[in-house]
Amino acid sequence: MASHPFRIVNVFTESAGRLTGNPLCVFESGADLGPEVMQNLARQFNLSETTFILPSTRAVARVRIFTPNYEMPFAGHPTLGTAHICRALKLGGDVLVLETQAGLIPVSAEGDRWTLTALKPTWRELGTSHAALAAALGLNESDVGRQPLWVKAGKEQLIVPLNSADAVQRANPVAERLGKIVSDEGHSMAYVFAFTGENSVLARFFFPQNGAFLEDPATGSATANFGGWCLATQRAQPVRLQISQGAMLKRPSTLFLEVNQDQIFVGGDVIEIGRGAINL
């Protein structure tokens, strides 16, 4: 049997809380693992994502990202968490580039706060009525704000402005309805948000798994897409927002979004909380 070391980190932690943020498993080397084994390991850990560090000729490392059910071309908290481990393994320093299936992602750190530069986003209209969208989210039509959009800054997701923090808290997806509103990859993922102040936002992210919709405690890819929504709706730049997510899961998380000169930056704090090895 071969031993495959991994580390557990929490990403987008709140106020340095070690058991806050979004958990991630990072395998220090995936060079000897095939995609089927990677998928099975992601299913074994059953976290929202598990990553595998691989050699790259274009960047500090190549990163493969798996949910328990499928591989993702890009995701935010796996990118930041993996960058943190790459630095710990001395593969890079405070400024590095990671290769993902979606492209090369620049990442930098100030202490343990990591920030990625998102890919240039694209966006398109929803193509579904506000009434149908509201029903899919378990909300009233009056709860849905202006210009819900499909946005893609690595992975296409539905970005839905709501008119109040109360509406964000009341959102309760109806699987059979939301499951019919799909991305360019055939996935139903919805990020709902409301401004709670000039520079503060409350957000939640829903994703499908095994026929139900689950909630993510902190979602970097959707935050990057939120930055794309800010560009699409011509929000005045620079945009600097502190986003709260995960409180309803009792995993409070803090994410930082900046949109400046049409570039999108997503940041948050990363804490390593454990290490181990899998013997295969």
Active site amino acids: 49
Measured CA angle at 42 (ends 39, 45), to 5 deg:
150
- Which contiguous run of DSSP H or E holds residue 267? strand 263-279
Pairing of strands 200-209, 212-216: antiparallel
Judged by DSSP in three states, 82 sits in helix
Q: Where does residue 261 fall: left (phi above 0), alpha (psi -120 to 50 degrees), or beta otherwise?
A: left
Q: Comparing C-alpha atoms, which of 44, 10, 31 is closest to residue 278?
A: 44
For residues 116 and 267, is the Cβ–Cβ distance under 8 A?
yes
